Amino acid sequence: MKSPQAVEALGALANEHRLAIYRLLVQAGPDGRPAGVIAEKLDMPASSLSFHLAHLTRIGLIEQRRESRSLIYSADFAVMNGLIGFLTENCCGGAACAPAASTRRKAS
């Protein structure tokens, strides 16, 4: 990932709501979640949510698919992958930074 893309990805995640949306979709896995469920879980107006979903989608952090009347959103890890790589390679002091990035993950 190049610097301008990293700025975009960072910007997309640098918002309370969008980060919450993204985390929710990461937890949801490949199945994703319909917009309505996200709106309910995060308690936000549909139009505001749609704005943030569009933002995340444009940057490539999430993707959209239609399933009957619902639009399902799911995390696409490629950009996050690139972002973490960018930060690790360009913004870390090598030994001073990398070791603590564990791969541990928690379930729901």
Partner DNA sequence: CCCATATTTCGACGATACTGGAACTATCGA
Partner DNA sequence: TCGATAGTTCCAGTATCGTCGAAATATGGG
Contacts with its own copies, residue ranges (CB under 8 A): 3-4, 6-7, 10-11, 13-16, 19-20, 22-23, 26, 29, 75, 77, 80-81, 83-85, 87-94, 96-107
Q: Assess 61 for contact with DNA (CB under 7 A).
A: no
44 interface partner picked from its own copies, DNA, none, CB below 5 to 8 A per type: DNA
Q: Which does 45 bind (CB under 5 to 8 A by kind): DNA, its own copies, none?
A: DNA
Adjacent-strand bridge partners of 73: 33, 64
Decide: is 74 part of the binding site for DNA (CB under 7 A): no
**Tokens found for residue 25:** 């979709």
Q: How far is CA 92 from CA 8, 50, 56, in A?
A: 19, 34, 25
In the list 24, 63, 70, 87, the residue contacting DNA (rule: CB under 7 A) is 70
Residue 30's CB is within 10 A of a number of other CB atoms, namely: 7
How would you list the strands of the sheet with 62-67, edge to edge? 33-34, 70-75, 62-67
Torsions phi, psi for 33 (to 5 deg): -145, 140
Nearest approach in angstroms of CB 32 to DNA is: 10
- Told to check if 52 binds DNA by CB under 7 A, we report yes
